Structure 1
Amino acid sequence: MILGFLNQKGGVGKTTLATHVAGELARTGARVLLIDADPQASALDWSERRVGEGRPRLFDVVGLAKETLHDQVPSLSRGYDHVVIDGPPRVTALARSAMLASDLVLIPVQPSPYDVWASQQVVTLVTEARVFRPELRAAFLVNRRIVNTVIGRDVGDALAGLGMPALPVSVSQRVAFAESVAIGRLVRESHPDSAAAKEIEAVASEIMNGCGR
């Protein structure tokens, strides 16, 4: 499976989700490759920080912020069970290439009206990509949800109006994510019994159960 995390809006937590989901998939014994397709190379930075901390490699990470990504992924994916793409911000030729390379696109969206409105551009991009890839699946993933707030509860209704499904699970705003990322770790390692770790596990489970249309 090739999984792409894409959103035209920056700062929605794509890299945190991509690295954590890649780690969760690898935890099952699968061979996982993470492709950093964001010119900012945050996933590569996280990987280097991990090496600097002397942590074992959980999955391979390569940088490939090129518009020919969809042509190169088939050869790169050989020998791997899953490929996770940390896509670029903004709707660009690179984002289109990352989408065409994916079997499933997850669109991280924060529970904010601005984020919901901005997601329409990615929905349009998915629609265009399905002309060439009718089997492409896509779904929203609510990230950084503030627990026990009205907007945290209502974001699902707002996304429903965009005509694309949202995962029935979400990821909350938790300090554990920031703490683990800062030292090149995953919450599964630094906070193994935390609610954050359980949320990532639930997201990975939904992915493997064939979410999205």
Structure 2
Amino acid sequence: MTPIHLAMIIAVLNQKGGVGKTTLSVNLAAALALAGQRTLLIDADPQGSALDWQAARQTESLFPVVGMAKPTLHKDVPALAADYHQVVIDGPPRVNELAKSAILAAERIVIPVQPSPYDVWAADEIVQLIQEVALYKENLRCAFAITRKIGNTAIGRDVVEALKHYPFPVAAATLGQRVVFAESAARGLAVLEVQPHGPAAREIQALARELLEM
């Protein structure tokens, strides 16, 4: 008998490199796990960055990381998700069948975007793919998340305005351009472990809450 999954499945997707997709995925999973939620991170990126992050870790992980970069992801996830409250999918870096499968598997989609016109323009393809798949998923919810934002800059404000022509909202919680994200990743840790009361940790927690309430 196939297990019934009750997990919330969140996919982090963007085909543009350098937007902090894996950084967001691992830290989001850590925030959920530290909030007492049984959490699973699925690495659906053929580059295996989330698996590399886990391999760099010296202590027991807050959550398991499973590699599953294949276009049958949406068929395989329900059985995997059965024992978890939350599942985070670190999506592939291109718009392809694997990305489509990640969308089909998810109930929430986060599109990380840097405050750059190039990132805004590059969002077209993933937005179109999500819209196509959303025709078959009534309860799919999507949002942009601003990453690597430099505080009190015009470009940080302008990107929110530029994203308004897309059909998805922009999350109120944003992630700043902070060294601790890279420093923690190099050790296979989350920012909540390295600086649990720091600004980066608060930003991740705020975004996690917003996504669950979306």
> Structure 1-normalised TM-score?
0.95
Instruction: Give the residue type in structure 2 aligned to 1:183.
Output: R
User: How far apart are 1:179 and its partner, in Å?
Assistant: 0.6
Matches within 5 A, 1:53-202: 53=58, 55-202=59-206
SS at match of 1:119: helix
- Distance in 1 (CA, whole Å) between partners of 2:91 and 2:192 is 23
Identity of matched residues, %: 54
- Distance in 2 (CA, whole Å) between partners of 1:192 and 1:25 is 13
- Distance in 2 (CA, whole Å) between partners of 1:165 and 1:30 is 26
- Distance in 2 (CA, whole Å) between partners of 1:183 and 1:57 is 12
Query: Are the counterparts in 2 of residues 104 and 138 from structure 1 also a CA contact under 8 Å?
Result: yes
- Distance in 2 (CA, whole Å) between partners of 1:49 and 1:123 is 33
User: How far apart are 1:37 and its partner, in Å?
Assistant: 0.1
User: Which shows bigger deviation, 116-125 or 33-42?
Assistant: 116-125
- Distance in 1 (CA, whole Å) between partners of 2:133 and 2:149 is 28
User: How far apart are 1:146 and its partner, in Å?
Assistant: 1.2
**Partner of residue 7, structure 1:** 14
User: How far apart are 1:134 and its partner, in Å?
Assistant: 2.0
| Superimposed CA distance per residue, residues 98-148 of structure 1 (whole angstroms, 9 cap, x where no aligned partner) | 011000000000000000011011111111011111221111001111111
Matches within 5 A, 1:197-212: 197-209=201-213, 211=214
SS at match of 2:135: helix
User: Which shows bigger deviation, 30-39 or 183-192?
Assistant: 183-192
Is 1:44–2:48 an aligned residue pair?
A: no
SS at match of 2:163: helix
| Superimposed CA distance per residue, residues 160-198 of structure 1 (whole angstroms, 9 cap, x where no aligned partner) | 111211101110110011111011111111112211111
SS at match of 2:56: helix
Is 1:27–2:34 an aligned residue pair?
A: yes
**Segments ≥4 residues shifted beyond 6 Å:** none
Instruction: Give the residue type in structure 2 aligned to 1:133.
Output: K
- Distance in 2 (CA, whole Å) between partners of 1:205 and 1:158 is 24
Instruction: Give the residue type in structure 2 aligned to 1:64.
Output: M
Structure 1 residues not aligned, in runs of 5+: none
| Alignment RMSD (CA, Å) | 0.8
- Distance in 1 (CA, whole Å) between partners of 2:134 and 2:179 is 37
User: How far apart are 1:56 and its partner, in Å?
Assistant: 2.0
